[in-house]
Structure 1
């Protein structure tokens, strides 16, 4: 497969790119180099893939059991938090978004 100007135009349109003339030449060269590299994968001999598959098998007994441990209760977790509000964790505002506040707690 060779990437020509027509295919480059289609790709640029799909990617919503505007390519300047000097960028087009570089892009054509780079894309064709990538396609050539991928085409080299066709030359690999992958008939020995059975050996690879068997070498990565895990025995079921080698896995650890999936057991929950060291549970932390709600009150204990809140006690470890830097700031909390009765039943909830309090966290700093993110990117200018202010946290919900109860109108009755604000001074008028």
Structure 2
């Protein structure tokens, strides 16, 4: 598969990224290397290989979930740069809409 500038532009648009100049060349080289590596993997005979579901034989060992108070409400708000009586105040994150 040949990586063309149009494909890089399309993927960059989908990811809301912008590549120009040397960055675009570097991304193109990285994508070419990934495609080449996938081609090498296709050359390997995997007919008698069991699919790997888990990386180890270990089973999750979880502790019992016991709720406990580790910090009070006042202690949590004590060092907050901005706060109300009960809440942290933060700057707006989504103050404009996306065009697309």
Q: How many residues align?
A: 82
Paired residue for 1:100?
86
Structure 2 unmatched ranges of 5 or more: 88-100
Q: State the alpha-carbon separation in 1 of the partners of residues 57 and 74 from structure 2.
A: 46
Paired residue for 2:44?
44
Question: What does the per-residue CA deviation read over 1:25-66, in whole Å, with 9 as the maximum and x for residues that have no partner?
Answer: 11111111111112211111111224978xx889xxxxx9xx
- Secondary structure of 1:41 counterpart: helix
TM-score normalized by structure 1? Answer: 0.51
Paired residue for 2:23?
23
Aligned residue runs from structure 1 range 1-108, under 5 A: 1-50=1-50, 77=68, 81=70, 83=72, 91-93=75-77, 96-98=82-84, 100=86
Quote the offset at 1:8 in angstroms. 0.9
Query: What RMSD over aligned residues (CA atoms) do the two structures have, in Å?
Result: 3.9
Structure 1 unmatched ranges of 5 or more: 59-63, 84-88, 102-108
TM-score normalized by structure 2? Answer: 0.54
Larger relative helix fraction: 1
